[in-house]
Copies of this chain bind each other. A is one copy, B any other.
Amino acid sequence: MEKEKGTVYLIPTFLSDVPFDSVMAPRVRDEIRSISYFAVENEKTARRYIKKVVPEKDISSLVFYPIGKHSDDAMISSYLAPCLQGHDLGVISEAGVPAVADPGALVVERAHGMGIRVIPLCGPSSVLMGLMASGLSGQCFAFNGYLPVDKAGRRARLRELEALSLKNSQAQIFIETPYRNVQMFDDILSSCASHTSLCVASDITGPDEYIRTMTVAGWKSSGVRPDIHKKPTVFIIQQKGVKK
């Protein structure tokens, strides 16, 4: 008789250092408690997370596999070997949910290829929560990851996303390396049209959570400069057509 395969669980982690009960369902703790094999973006922070959530768990007995830019198909397949022997595998990224704006998709892709079941657990996602709270279009949206770093390329991309948002009535979401957030904010204000809406969603779920949507003209005239330097931030722009 063939042994039943294990399952790949996509395990969320915190966006900010807050109490477990504020963002996580008890089931997340239950699954972490029962899993011994983990594919993780960063072993040190994954160990710390597991220790925090299930303090009685014997961390030294767990197996950790690194996932990231350098994971190749053969490595990923080897991470899934425990599943073929009936063990579950948990996937944990650095912040929020795995495989969305974070590594993990390669493990999931290989799991599907190997006929291994994949179960996503509910947890915080800065992309989703920023969009929810933006007031911009949740009926049609695109997540674009990082924009170009060079100034000219970034401005061109911002204008391109702005045009797409108008043409497709599509909210355009993107992120930036935290220490460049202020620069990004300034580039949006100087590149986009005055009636384009900009949502700045920073430290989502955390003590300094700041989510605010105004038009570019509104941000400029209010003089508000959000305190986003080095804080995880999601930017969303949408041009809705000239209203007056």
Q: Which residues of B contact A100 (CB under 8 A)?
A: 128, 131-132, 138, 141
Confirm or deny: A108 has a beta carbon within 8 angstroms of a beta carbon on chain B: yes
| Contact yes or no, B22 A137, CB < 8 A | no
Choose the segment among A37-45, A55-63, A179-187, A208-216 that binds chain B (4+ C-beta atoms closer than 8 Å): A208-216
- Count of A interface residues, CB-CB < 8 Å: 57
In the complex, per-residue mask of A123-145: 1 if CB is within 8 Å of any chain B CB, else 0: 11101111111111111111111
| Contact yes or no, B27 A25, CB < 8 A | no
Contact of A134 among B108, B117, B135 (CB under 8 A): B108
Confirm or deny: A67 has a beta carbon within 8 angstroms of a beta carbon on chain B: no
| Contact yes or no, B108 A135, CB < 8 A | yes
Confirm or deny: A105 has a beta carbon within 8 angstroms of a beta carbon on chain B: yes
A positions within 8 Å CB-CB of B: 10, 21-27, 97-102, 104-106, 108-112, 117-120, 122-125, 127-145, 170, 204-205, 209, 211-214
